[in-house]
């Protein structure tokens, strides 16, 4: 019989703890990120769970170790923590370094990396970067982007939990698509066909009748044959739905509160990553401006000279123009655009009774790109059935979804934020694939 202790529960020494341990001897593990050999010895940079640690080792008595040392080796090192002033922003902590007394080699790579991982910026073509993703993500810049995304998702959860929302987990194999249309992946499910979830929308609305306020962080799938820098076919959606609303503006207000919490969390938890990436967090003003789609088209038409009035949506160039206009005129990098036409929004979106043909819906734009879509939903059974028919849908095919309406729902609404898009906008990354661990697009199914 083996006896299992709680040794693995003691945790790791964090960068913050190391900064308080000057003069003490510590033993830590990590992977060799890079080595800078000099006449007297070497600087050895270790990749750890929360950053890169600078280690120093002299030649005397250590020649064999230094000769054997290569990048991507797993090692355990023992040494004394000493104060330092490190200017390299990729190093964390930057106020101390570890003067090594011993190195134990734990594992060795079968071969050296095919690209230079020691550069401060991994200067690779994006296809090469993505082909080598298990390796390229080890680079501090690439890794930092994922850390920002992780912190945003965590802050989203914490913010909504603090507002009385309940986290739910909805099926990703469904009998029907929430958004309709052709952009849905069909799969064989035993003896019948099924679909990968385009959205947790139906289940969020059902959840309103259960918990009143619900949210989910999870994958969604869109079978859109785009090959652009702003689309991927599997992404992480930050969703919430809330009941007993008096109008869709309440949803917009909750989103702003969430985003404020997210920005504060990034300041607190990701200062190292933000500095290394040279990222400026967007400032959320006291009042985020909101305009209708009709007003948006008038603004862009006047600026660009291209008449887009009457168009059912914003094109990418309009999104850029509107964000620049908002920044210049309202000092806000965020801009809500509301009242999209009925035919452009899903069948569960509530129409505006005061403006027929438009919906109580919105997009949120940030730094030239839409990052959120949301709005008020239909909660009355008969209204929902009639709108399904108007969209050419058979209500019987949505019977399980309509149970929520049949047995009563309060006025409600919600939204979805694309995590990768939001991360890309915050970091100024042009291609959202670089904010995704292993992206899926029309041409990419590996790694």
Rounded CA separation 97/271 (Å): 19
Report how far apart, in Å, the C-alpha atoms of 171 and of each of 177, 198, 232, 268, 292 are.
Answer: 12, 11, 20, 34, 34
157 and 27 part of one domain: no
**158 and 95 in one domain?**
no
The DSSP secondary structure of 352-374, one letter per residue, reads: -TTSTTBBSEEEEEETTEEEEEE
118 within a domain of the structure (yes/no): no
Full strand arrangement of the beta sheet holding 412-418: 166-167, 213-221, 234-243, 412-418, 369-376, 361-366, 334-338, 290-292
What gap in Å lies between CA 63 and CA 367, rounded to an integer?
52
Are 103 and 144 in a shared domain?
no
Q: Are residues 84 and 157 in the same domain?
A: no
Non-local CB neighbours of 403 within 8 Å, separated by 6+ positions: 206
Q: Which residues contact 135 (CB under 8 A, 6 or more apart)?
A: 113, 114, 115, 117
Give the model's pLDDT for residue 182.
65
| Partners of residue 220 on adjacent β-strands | 235
Residues 265 and 370 reside in one and the same domain: yes
Please check whether residues 183 and 54 belong to one and the same domain: no
> The tokens 């207000």 sit on which residue?
253
Query: For residue 345, how many other CB atoms are within 10 A of its CB?
Result: 21
Q: Which domain holds residue 248?
A: 140-435
Do 193 and 93 reside in the same domain of the chain?
no
3 falls within a domain: no
Query: What CATH number is attached to the domain comprising 95?
Result: 2.40.50.140
Count up the domains in the chain and report the number: 2
Domain boundary (107, 122, 157) is at 107
Residues 74 and 192 in one domain: no
> 290 and 224: one domain?
yes
CB 241, CB 205: distance < 8 Å: yes
What is the predicted pLDDT for the residue at 191? Answer: 95
Distance CA 141, CA 133 (A): 13
pLDDT-flagged residues of the chain (< 50): none
Q: Specify whether the CB–CB gap between 71 and 10 falls below 8 A.
A: no
Is residue 2, in this structure, part of any structural domain at all?
A: no
| Together in a domain, 96 and 187 | no
In a domain, 215, yes or no: yes
> Does 445 fall in a domain?
no
pLDDT of residue 334: 98
3-state secondary structure of 31: strand
Of 59, 89, 107, the residue that ends a domain is: 107
Residue where a domain terminates, one of 91, 107, 123: 107
pLDDT digits (tens, 9 = 90+) for 199-214: 999 999 999 999 999 9
Q: Are residues 198 and 82 in the same domain?
A: no
**Could you tell me the CATH number of the domain that includes residue 224?**
3.30.930.10
Q: Are residues 309 and 428 in the same domain?
A: yes
> For residue 412, which of 221, 248, 190, 288 has the smallest C-alpha distance?
248
Per-residue b or e along 30-64, where b marks 16 or more CB atoms closer than 10 Å to that residue's CB: bbbbbbeeeeebbbbbbbbebbbbbbbbeeeebee
């Amino acid at each position: 019989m083996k006896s299992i202790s709680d040794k693995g529960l003691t945790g790791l020494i964090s960068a913050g703890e190391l900064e308080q341990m000057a003069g003490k001897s510590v033993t830590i593990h990590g992977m060799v990120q890079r080595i800078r050999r000099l006449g007297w010895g070497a600087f050895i940079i270790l990749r750890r769970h929360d950053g890169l640690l600078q280690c120093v080792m002299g030649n005397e008595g250590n020649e064999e170790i230094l000769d054997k040392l290569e990048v991507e080796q797993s090692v355990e090192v023992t040494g004394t923590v000493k104060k330092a002033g490190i200017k390299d922003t990729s190093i964390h902590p930057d106020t101390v370094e570890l003067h090594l007394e011993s190195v134990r080699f734990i594992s060795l790579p079968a071969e050296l990396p095919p690209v230079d991982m020691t550069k401060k910026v991994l200067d690779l073509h994006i296809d090469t970067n993505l082909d080598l993703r298990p390796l390229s993500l080890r680079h501090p810049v690439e890794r930092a982007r994922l850390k920002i995304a992780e912190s945003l998702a965590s802050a989203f959860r914490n913010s909504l939990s603090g507002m009385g929302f309940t986290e739910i987990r909805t099926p990703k194999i469904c009998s029907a698509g929430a958004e309709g249309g052709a952009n849905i992946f069909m799969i064989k499910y035993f003896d019948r066909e099924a679909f990968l979830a385009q959205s947790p929308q139906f289940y969020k609305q059902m959840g309103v009748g259960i918990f009143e306020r619900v949210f989910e962080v999870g994958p969604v799938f869109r079978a859109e044959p785009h090959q652009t820098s702003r689309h991927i076919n599997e992404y992480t959606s930050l969703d919430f739905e809330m009941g007993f609303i008096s109008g869709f503006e309440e949803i917009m207000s909750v989103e702003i509160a969430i985003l404020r919490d997210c920005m504060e969390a990034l300041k607190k938890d990701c200062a190292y990553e933000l500095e290394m990436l040279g990222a400026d967090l967007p400032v959320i003003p006291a009042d985020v401006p909101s305009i209708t789609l009709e007003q948006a088209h008038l603004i862009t038409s006047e600026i660009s000279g291209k008449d887009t009035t009457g168009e059912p949506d914003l094109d990418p160039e309009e999104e850029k123009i509107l964000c620049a206009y908002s920044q210049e005129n309202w000092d806000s990098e965020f801009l809500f655009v509301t009242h999209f036409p009925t035919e452009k929004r899903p069948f569960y979106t509530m129409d505006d009774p005061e403006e027929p043909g438009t919906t109580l819906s919105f997009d949120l734009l940030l730094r030239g790109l839409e990052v959120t879509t949301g709005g008020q939903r239909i909660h009355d059974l008969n209204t929902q059935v009639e709108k399904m028919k108007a969209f050419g849908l058979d209500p019987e095919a949505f019977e399980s979804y309509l149970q929520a309406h049949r047995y009563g729902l309060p006025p409600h609404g919600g939204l979805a934020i694309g995590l990768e898009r939001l991360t890309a906008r915050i970091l100024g990354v042009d291609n959202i694939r670089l904010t995704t661990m292993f992206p899926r697009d029309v041409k990419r199914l590996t790694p």
